[in-house]
Amino acid sequence: MKLRELIDKLEIEETLTTEEWTRLLNHFTQEDAAYAADKARTIADEIYGKEIYIRGLIEFTNYCKNDCYYCGIRRSNEKVERYRLTRGQILDCCHTGWKLGYRTFVLQGGEDGFYTDSWYQETIGKIKEAYPDCALTLSLGERSKESYQRLYDAGADRYLLRHETANQQHYGRLHPKELSLKNRKECLWGLREIGYQVGCGFMVGSPYQTSKELAEDMKFIHELKPHMVGIGPFIPQKDTPFAQETQGSLRLTLFLLSLIRIMEKHVLLPATTALGTIDPKGRELGILAGANVIMPNLSPVDVREKYKLYDNKICTGEEAAECRGCIDRRVTSIGYHIVSKRGDYKA
């Protein structure tokens, strides 16, 4: 079968064999990528139109008990100046965001034991009370199912937890031994069961990743059927064990975005900040490849520099309002527009 026929097959059957995935990912040309992007964009336009959803990202703590080899805020990185936002500061970010048209807030942080379930419950309650028309997404890492349930009952709507890689050996090469793929996957299935809109995802071009691992990622996504999938290129961070590794490619990231859209047609798919970091037009190209979400930063400017998972991260000096204007212009320039809506999954 020619590679284009594999893309057609993916569109119809929504699955490929491992051999087909690896062949497609190893041998695709620019023409194949353009063919996939065109299909992906048509599918996204049919479901979501020319609307792009925005999510206001609030990076509220860079303390983390984990030591993932790729991540700039891993606990062993002593060069990071650690910070925590107070509930008041978080609510101020939401206030700023609401005025700028955001109707989804994402609370993201390292796995920081300082914040308890009851602190989260109260914070979630306060945000949902002040902004009843907004969705609240959590991205707090691995927790117990009981904890996920409590936060859901407190009003959280969505949860982002990238699986990072669906291959166990590969997982072991990206993480210290106290972390396991099994637990990660159980968290994701648990979140789904509770009723969250769930997001998984992975880095493109992480060390030791080959098309075999990517094939497993695609199969896992198809199995989990998440509402959101976050992918972006791996970018080395200078104070991590992966400082000398090469960054993920733009071309492969864009192709995978298209394939995810073709496979999981309704999925909410962000053009990530990492994609915008490796190419000045990365996020626009991401949308043109099938993405329909952008997640600009709402964190206070004085902490942004401290939440650097990878080097050269964009938007660390810009105020929330500047990013909002910038994003508007970028999205408009390619024939799309930002909408001030919650932007839920359209079944």
Kindly state whether residue 278 participates in binding ligand 5AD, applying the rule CB under 6 A: no
Kindly state whether residue 215 participates in binding ligand 5AD, applying the rule CB under 6 A: no
Among 3, 6, 33, 71, binds ligand 5AD (CB under 6 A): 71
Nearest-approach distance from CB 272 to ligand FES, in angstroms: 12
* Residues in Cβ contact with 155 at an 8 Å cutoff, skipping those fewer than 6 apart: 124, 125, 127, 128, 136
Q: Which is nearer to ligand 5AD, 237 or 299 (CB)?
A: 237
Kindly state whether residue 334 participates in binding ligand FES, applying the rule CB under 6 A: no
Kindly state whether residue 100 participates in binding ligand FES, applying the rule CB under 6 A: no
Number of DSSP helices (H) and strands (E) in the chain, helices first: 14, 9
Residue positions counted in the chain: 347
Q: Which is nearer to ligand FES, 227 or 283 (CB)?
A: 283
156-185: contacts with ligand FES (CB under 6 A): none
d(CA 276, CA 286): 9
286-305: contacts with ligand FES (CB under 6 A): 296
**Options 20-28, 137-145, 169-177, 322-330: segment touching ligand FES (CB under 6 A):** 322-330
Strand partners, 230: 201
**Options 90-98, 192-200, 246-254, 319-327: segment touching ligand FES (CB under 6 A):** 319-327
Residue-wise DSSP of 142-210: ---HHHHHHHHHTT--EEE---B-S-HHHHHHHS-TT--HHHHHHHHHHHHHHT-EEEEEEEET-TT--
170 burial level (CB within 10 Å; 0-12, 13-18, 19+):
buried
* Residues in Cβ contact with 250 at an 8 Å cutoff, skipping those fewer than 6 apart: 233, 275, 278, 279, 282, 285
Task: Determine contact, residues 103/133, Cβ cutoff 8 Å.
Answer: yes
Among 14, 146, 153, 322, binds ligand FES (CB under 6 A): 322
d(CA 286, CA 76): 33
Q: Which of ligand 5AD, ligand FES, none binds 296 (CB below 5-8 Å, type-dependent)?
A: ligand FES
Kindly state whether residue 318 participates in binding ligand FES, applying the rule CB under 6 A: yes
Q: Which is nearer to ligand 5AD, 156 or 274 (CB)?
A: 274
Contacts to ligand FES by CB under 6 A: 296, 315, 318, 322-323, 326-327
Contacts to ligand 5AD by CB under 6 A: 70-71, 162, 164, 203, 232, 234-235, 237, 274, 309-310
